[in-house]
Structure 1
Amino acid sequence: MDHRLATRSAVELHQVTRLYGAEDTGVAALDNVSLSCPAGTWTAVMGPSGSGKSTLLHCAAGLDRVTSGRVLLAGRDITAAPDSTLTELRRRTIGFVFQNFNLISSLSAEQNVAFPLKLAGARVSKSDVRRVLAGVGLADRAGHKPRELSGGQQQRVAIARAMISRPAVLFADEPTGALDSHSAKVVLELLRDLVRTAGQSIVMVTHDPAVAAGADTVVFLADGRIVDRVDRPTTWDVAERLARLES
């Protein structure tokens, strides 16, 4: 069975709290959050600045430890998993797109995309690498290094790198934030195609209502808590709810 579809939920958070600072005086970035993201769907997370969006993403992906509660990733409880297990999961089970690209400056775009596969000891298909680069509009930039690419192009390389291994869950923090409107449309269409035709699971943080409207479900956070959600969203639905929270 395809590992992406082996469980009904790609990500589950059960009464998750994440405190920063001392327990009695600390700040709750997440406050008793429960969330289930079904496998093969695209969930967008939105909310005002400081609402806990990135913390939720990092806890769900095993990049940050929760203070209390449970986190299941692709059906596996990672709440108390050792660092070695989390490292292996990050190599084989998830993909992550960061806001700041995190490309290796000495490698070409093609080599950056292939790097996670090599790190995991997996077979690297040059044609697959080129296909993914073409999918984000960079077929003619395969040999270019990050310093030879614009910020938007570097972000697209980072997205291609995250997608090359077809992870169980693709986590994305503002994946189109550095892209022009045309490039953003290409990337969003590719993400939607991954969900629709390949059963890819995506959990994404974004500030852009138009980007969030591409998701199956949008979850809204405020003060570390889930306060609203909308299924089959439209840009208007998302913008109206977000404006209400920010006011």
Structure 2
Amino acid sequence: MRAPAAAGPHAGIPAAPVQLYQVSRHYGAGETQVHALADVSVTFPAGSWTAVMGPSGSGKSTLLHCAAGLDRVTAGRVLLAGQDITHATDAELTRLRRRAVGFVFQNLNLIGSLTAEQNVALPLRLAGARPSRRDVQTALADVGLADRGRHRPRELSGGQQQRVAIARAMVTRPSVLFADEPTGALDTGSARTVLRLLRRMVDAGGQTVVMVTHDPVAAASADAVVFLSDGRIADRLLRPSAAQVAERLTRLEG
């Protein structure tokens, strides 16, 4: 099953580059088995930003990891960037992620011994490409760090480190960006900067962003919010306010 391809900068990528069909993910067996996801079907359209929310243990990160091919589903199907990855090999997943997927996590995974420029260039090197210095500098300039390329992570603030992580994710021009609590450890000003960057990736770059967050303000920056509860989709909101997100989340947590 393949969705129609999108036009524009990511031609060849389907109009819904992330699709989950009746996905379940179980851990353990017998009486101790945990049903992290249960029969979840959801589509993330091209050029859209979706926030995924829910109470602790609702399956948010599991959904993100299954959608990105970082975790295997127990049942159902997952399509990513036009490919069915349900039974893909590790090598196939690695090639696909390097070609079409970017990641930004709260745990930034920056390499402390490398400069910001070297951290940003790393995905290109891992993909076997020779990084263009101009591409790397442009990615850093896009996140407001044109003058920090020679700095190592310890010489940067938390917000600046997060922006380096976003530049690293952007440099390969992925069609899909997965973000897990990208503003969770940031102050309000740095969080706003990161959210503006994600918005620009969607509006100017036509990229798809899927973001797990616990923050109603961050979620309200997205085009849509999907709420999980007990491993199932409990609700959806389109273009909600932060107050609407907070009210719906409180109701689920109650």
Specify the alignment match of 1:109 in structure 2.
116
* 1:117-136 pair list within 5 angstroms: 117-136=124-143
Residue 220 of structure 1 aligns to a residue whose secondary structure is strand
Name the CA distance, whole Å, in 1 between partners of 2:167 and 2:227.
27
Specify the alignment match of 2:169 in structure 1.
162
Specify the alignment match of 1:93 in structure 2.
100
Identity %: 69
Structure 1: state its 5+ residue gaps.
none
Specify the alignment match of 1:186 in structure 2.
193
1:198 maps to 2:198: no
Name the CA distance, whole Å, in 2 between partners of 1:212 and 1:56.
16
Q: Could you tell me whether the CA contact under 8 Å between 1:4 and 1:10 is conserved in 2?
A: no
Please give the TM-score of this superposition, normalised by the length of structure 2: 0.92
* 1:13-162 pair list within 5 angstroms: 13-22=20-29, 25-162=32-169
Name the CA distance, whole Å, in 1 between partners of 2:189 and 2:85.
38
Of stretches 210-219 and 150-159 in structure 1, the one that deviates more from structure 2 is 150-159
Report the alpha carbon displacement of residue 235 of structure 1 after superposing the two structures with TM.
1.0
Assess, with a 3 A threshold, how the Cα gap between structure 1 residues 151 and 241 changes in structure 2: closer, same or farther: same
The amino acid of 1:206's aligned partner reads T
Q: Could you tell me whether the CA contact under 8 Å between 1:168 and 1:201 is conserved in 2?
A: yes
Which of 9, 12, 34 is the aligned partner of 2:16?
A: 9
Name the CA distance, whole Å, in 2 between partners of 1:158 and 1:197.
19
Of stretches 193-202 and 128-137 in structure 1, the one that deviates more from structure 2 is 128-137
Name the CA distance, whole Å, in 2 between partners of 1:196 and 1:151.
25
Instruction: Please list the CA deviations of residues 121-150 of structure 1 after superposition, one character each: whole Å capped at 9, or x if unmatched.
Output: 234232332232233232222111122223
Q: Could you tell me whether the CA contact under 8 Å between 1:5 and 1:40 is conserved in 2?
A: no
Report the alpha carbon displacement of residue 4 of structure 1 after superposing the two structures with TM.
5.7
Assess, with a 3 A threshold, how the Cα gap between structure 1 residues 179 and 163 changes in structure 2: closer, same or farther: same
Q: Could you tell me whether the CA contact under 8 Å between 1:159 and 1:175 is conserved in 2?
A: no
Matched positions, count: 247
Q: Could you tell me whether the CA contact under 8 Å between 2:159 and 2:191 is conserved in 1?
A: no
**How much is the aligned-residue C-alpha RMSD, in angstroms?**
1.5
Residue 236 of structure 2 aligns to a residue whose secondary structure is strand
The amino acid of 1:111's aligned partner reads Q
1:233 maps to 2:234: no
Name the CA distance, whole Å, in 1 between partners of 2:247 and 2:230.
19
Residue 104 of structure 1 aligns to a residue whose secondary structure is coil
Specify the alignment match of 2:225 in structure 1.
218
Name the CA distance, whole Å, in 1 between partners of 2:11 and 2:178.
14
Instruction: Please list the CA deviations of residues 17-76 of structure 1 after superposition, one character each: whole Å capped at 9, or x if unmatched.
Output: 000001664101101100001111111100111110000000000000000000000121
Instruction: Please list the CA deviations of residues 86-138 of structure 1 after superposition, one character each: whole Å capped at 9, or x if unmatched.
Output: 01112111001121111112110111011101211234232332232233232
